[in-house]
Amino acid sequence: MGQRGVKQPKGQDKNIQEELKRHGDIPTHIAIIMDGNGRWAQKRGLPRIAGHNEGVESVRDIVETCGQLGVKYLTLYAFSTENWKRPKEEVSMLMRLLMRALRDETDKLHQNNVRVHTVGETSSLPREVQDELRDAIEKTKENTGLNLLLALSYSGRWDITSAVKRIAEHVHQGKLKPGEINDQVFSKYLSTRDIPDPDLLIRTSGELRISNFLLWQLAYSEIVISNSYWPEFRRKDIYEAIGEFQKRERRFGMVSEQLHSTKKKNNVLKQLFKSVPG
Ligand code: FPP
């Protein structure tokens, strides 16, 4: 068996990726609201599920590209708490699609050194989906490349209320004092506890909402909206989004001069994001 590692880019891809890496910082954590599958299908006179099917191709391409670029965390909003309210047939088709995608892709993800995680209330997913997820997580748990977080049955309010419940329990049990609660402590009770906050949030299909995604974690994320529907969002679109991200100045509430030199900026970032590993 060959050595595990990221499949290397070739030709134009290789040039663009090298240029992006030279030009500025590659975001450590990218979060994506994958939107527009239904509209993509509708525009082509196809059933909505055709959009979700094609959306899996985009997932494949974006995961591979992020791995090649050295992105450490990629969080995909694959199924929200609110998505349970969709017609029953669409929900069960999405679950089947997810199951099939996991079954078909886990080996390749493993080969590419990707580690799979989930965030969300996964216990409410069908048993077979939970089994596939457990297998994918178990198989890839030693991998050291891209961390792929699948947000499933997830919502930001669910994440925050779950954290509050556990904090209340710990206070009640005397494990935590109310005075000890600050934003760093609170973050440790969220489903993303050991993961740095997203640097970049991308939403596809031109919508301007965060739709109950990582409400706490997105506090200082740069937001890039792409007009492409998710099924047509491919590597060229993520290059564009990262290029846009690199043009932004992230001030974290400070003034421009405080961040002026790159060295200073990096130190400030390190201080601000103490939870960022390495
Ligand atoms: C939003 O489009 C998309 C979803 C709710 C599901 C996303 C799921 C996938 C791309 C497939 C499975 C994912 C993985 C990780 C393998 P929409 O249906 O809301 O589109 P619309 O706004 O045009 O109706």
Q: Is 231 in the pocket of ligand 1 (CB under 6 A)?
A: no
Lookup result for tokens 């995604």: 213
pLDDT above 70 covers a percentage of the chain that reads 92
pLDDT above 90 covers a percentage of the chain that reads 85
Residue (of 252, 247, 255) closest to 273 by Cα position: 252
Nearest CA to ligand 1 atom 8: 78
Ligand 1 midpoint to CA 111 (Å): 25
Is this prediction's pTM over 0.95? no
Contact 97, 105 (CB under 8 A): no
pLDDT tens-digit map of 131-190: 999 999 999 999 999 999 999 999 999 999 999 999 999 999 999 999 999 999 999 999
Instruction: Indicate if the pLDDT at residue 1 is higher than 60.
Output: no
pLDDT tens-digit map of 93-134: 999 999 999 999 999 999 999 999 999 999 999 999 999 999
Q: Is 83 in the pocket of ligand 1 (CB under 6 A)?
A: yes
Instruction: Indicate if the pLDDT at residue 197 is higher than 90.
Output: yes
Residue (of 145, 140, 189, 197) closest to 164 by Cα position: 189
pLDDT tens-digit map of 10-46: 999 999 999 999 999 999 999 999 999 999 999 999 9
Ligand 1 midpoint to CA 116 (Å): 19
The pLDDT assigned to 120 comes to 98
Nearest CA to ligand 1 atom 3: 35
Which listed residue (13, 25, 61, 83) is catalytic?
Answer: 83
Q: Is 35 labeled as catalytic in the residue annotation?
A: yes
Alpha carbons 211 and 129: distance in angstroms, whole number: 24
